[in-house]
Amino acid sequence: MEPKTPLSSASLSSLTEIIGPFYFVGGYVRDLLMRRRSRRHHKGAIDIDIAVDSPMETVRERLAKGFFSNREKMTLTFFWKGLTIDLVSLNGLTIDEELTRRDLTINSMGLSCQRVFDILKEEPDWEGSIRPEDVIDPTGGWSDLRAKILRCPREKNLTDDPVRLVRVFRFQGEFGFEIEDLTFQWIHRHAPTVRLVAKERVSRELEKLFSSPYVVKALRELKKTRLFRELFPLLTGPLDRRLEDRPYFGQSVFEHSLRVIAGCGSDPLLKWAGFFHDVGTRDGFSRVSSTDEETAPRDNYHPEERSVELLLETAKDWGLPKRIVDPVEKIIRFHQVPVTSRSAIKEASMHFREPKAHNRFFRFVQADRCAADPLFLETDEGKAHKEIVKAVRRMMPKISRCERFFSGKTLLALGLRPTPAFKVLIDHLMKKALELDFNLTERTAQELLESTLRFKERYERLFFDNTEYRRKREYYIDGEVIGVLEEDVKMTVRTEVFLYRFEPEAMLPEALRGKNPLLFFSLSS
């Protein structure tokens, strides 16, 4: 049963009293004709678009409160009885003129509230009773909807608001429709104008594109246009490179990426990761993951690091949100994990300790391998991989317990001050726990922490060469700790994590000069 918009004859009358006679327009009418599920706003309200004859100021006065305006789009949004209503004023235009100015013909159909009242007299379930003859259709939207075509009514409609150039492909990703040839040409011609649009608006369209079911088709078509180069200028060359190792030989990075995306299901984060994961691959470099660390290619070049750089630069260019960038970056960094190496999979799992993040990561690893061999999971290698992942997944509670032993809270309890050193320390200690198969007790975890930081019981008690010293003050600077001992001596202590440099107190200002020190420890509160 499809959810129904809570619009009865009474509620429609009530809405008309507030804003005057109106027309349903845009995507809401399109979805009615497609018998699609009503679009829902992020707050759970059903999203509808309407146009009114009344001036916008008049509508604002009648609403009094509970609305917000989008001055860029000249719309007003308010919440009313389970609806999110996006309202636009006709501003002296006829409804036909207003509809003709929209992005695509399938979004350029309208439905008068009076026609809805007429239908309600015969059929209370009016939404399911809308027919093409009921709608106002000045641009042939119904014909295009039936033919599954995306067509812009006029070239000017794209240049009036260049974000529509991206939106065409977003709708292709949503519906899988074909883009009309002339519309395609206009997009190619006016592609540079997308740079005139606020990057946040482009970012939102890209988010919707990568959340859509037909994103592979849309990306393949998008790449044929100049618009792709405007959106992803850093990726055009890398995506065209040919992979040279045996499973992928002759395949472009772009085609491989699309295969990975196709195997990622409906998860948008995995689709983003699929798009960027191999863009750092250089010419002549084999990107295939080895099944064994010992046989992995020895090369100082790390394509995944370059892929991350290109992701971050693109994200900065268009203002992609951290909720997308951070998990995608992590997936890309570790996706080359040797698939049958238990130790490598355990180490990678330390970076994806939340069950959802862990499952997502290994779904991506498998999608990447299946892009080369669709039967990968049925091979001996694939079966071994699945068993190792299952075993490591069962180990996750132990990993989580070790993480609690070495948490930021633990370090704060020692008297340390929060700095980037915390992450460095915790990562190191977790790798040490990995070597012990995460079989740590609270006691052994404390001993590991003490041996790493060269103290006993309390952090200020520094032990070095069988001698006890007392830390007075320390600063963290890019992997180095510079400090002062109560004994006021000059001494260097190297550990697995930090290089400690202790200076006489009188020499400390000189040692810190020109640096950006962060207080790491102080005996005084």
pLDDT tens digits along 152-211: 999 999 999 999 999 999 999 999 999 999 999 999 999 999 999 999 999 999 999 999
Domain 1-144 classification at class level: alpha beta
- The confidence score (pLDDT) of residue 121 equals 78
Euclidean distance between CA atoms 305 and 59, whole angstroms: 53
Q: Max alpha carbon distance in the chain (Å)?
A: 94
Supply 275's token pair: 């798009």
DSSP assignment letter at 77: E
Residue 55 vs residue 191, higher pLDDT: 191
Residue 295 vs residue 433, higher pLDDT: 433
Supply 434's token pair: 């990995």
DSSP assignment letter at 246: G
pLDDT tens digits along 491-505: 998 888 999 999 999
pLDDT at position 42 over 80: no
- The confidence score (pLDDT) of residue 291 equals 45
Q: Are 28 and 127 in contact (CB under 8 A)?
A: no
- The confidence score (pLDDT) of residue 354 equals 87
Residue 152 CB coordination number (10 Å) = 25
Tell me the pLDDT band of 281, cut-offs 50, 70 and 90: confident
- The confidence score (pLDDT) of residue 246 equals 55
Q: What is the mean pLDDT of residues 409-436?
A: 93
Per-range mean pLDDT, top range of 127-136, 149-158, 428-437: 149-158
- The confidence score (pLDDT) of residue 41 equals 41
Element (H, E) at 120: helix 113-122
- The confidence score (pLDDT) of residue 486 equals 94
The closest alpha carbon to 7, from 19, 24, 20, belongs to 24
Q: Which of 54-68, 155-169, 420-434 has the lowest mean pLDDT?
A: 54-68
- The confidence score (pLDDT) of residue 43 equals 44
- The confidence score (pLDDT) of residue 66 equals 63
- The confidence score (pLDDT) of residue 298 equals 45
Instruction: Please name the residues in contact with 102: beta carbons below 8 A apart, sequence gap of 6 or more.
Output: 25, 26, 108, 139, 153, 157
Q: Hey, which residues does 47 pair with through a beta bridge?
A: 84
**What is each CA distance from 326 to 239, 315, 331, 351, in whole angstroms?**
22, 10, 9, 12
pLDDT tens digits along 136-153: 999 999 999 999 999 999
Q: Hey, which residues does 522 pair with through a beta bridge?
A: 473
Tell me the pLDDT band of 119, cut-offs 50, 70 and 90: confident
What is the chain's mean pLDDT, rounded?
Answer: 88
- The confidence score (pLDDT) of residue 106 equals 97
Q: Per-residue DSSP letters for 448-475?
A: HHHHHHTEESEEEEEEETTEEEEEEEEE
- The confidence score (pLDDT) of residue 285 equals 46
Euclidean distance between CA atoms 80 and 76, whole angstroms: 13
Domains in the chain: boundaries = 1-144, 232-403, 404-456, 458-522
Q: What is the mean pLDDT of residues 113-139?
A: 85
